[in-house]
Amino acid sequence: MELRGRPPGLAGVTRRLAYRLMTPLPAVDDSTAALALDLDDIPALGANDRIHLATCRLHGIGLIVSADVEFDDLEGLRRVDPQAEDALARLGLTPPSPRRAGLT
């Protein structure tokens, strides 16, 4: 989970929302690594992004939450930028109230 650059005061909120989005956590195993190594036709992706893409493809995941625009043009995968104003709505989540988030 990428935590760099997040707005201050969202530690608990980020953790709870991330848990809701990532449960159940798909296994990363030998087949994931093998598929990631075979993704040579997508040179813009680094090693970690290849693991993410391979995991999505093996587990039928069609949506990824990432600030990496390299995921935008990949067939069968839709990217939601976590820093976009409408990110929570696009994920089907309700933003926490400012009071519950500790922002008031």
Q: What is the pLDDT of residues 28-55, one digit of tens each?
A: 999 999 999 999 888 889 999 999 999 9
Cα–Cα dist 97/78, whole Å: 27
Question: pTM surpassing 0.85?
Answer: no
pLDDT classification of 25: cutoffs 50, 70, 90 = confident
Alpha-carbon torsion (50, 25, 83, 77), positive or negative = positive
Alpha-carbon torsion (42, 48, 51, 55), positive or negative = negative
Residue boundaries of the structural domains of the chain: 29-104
Parallel, antiparallel, or unpaired for β 78-80 and 63-65? parallel
As a whole-number percent, the residues of the chain with pLDDT over 70 amount to 74
Q: How far is CA 18 from the centre of its chain?
A: 9
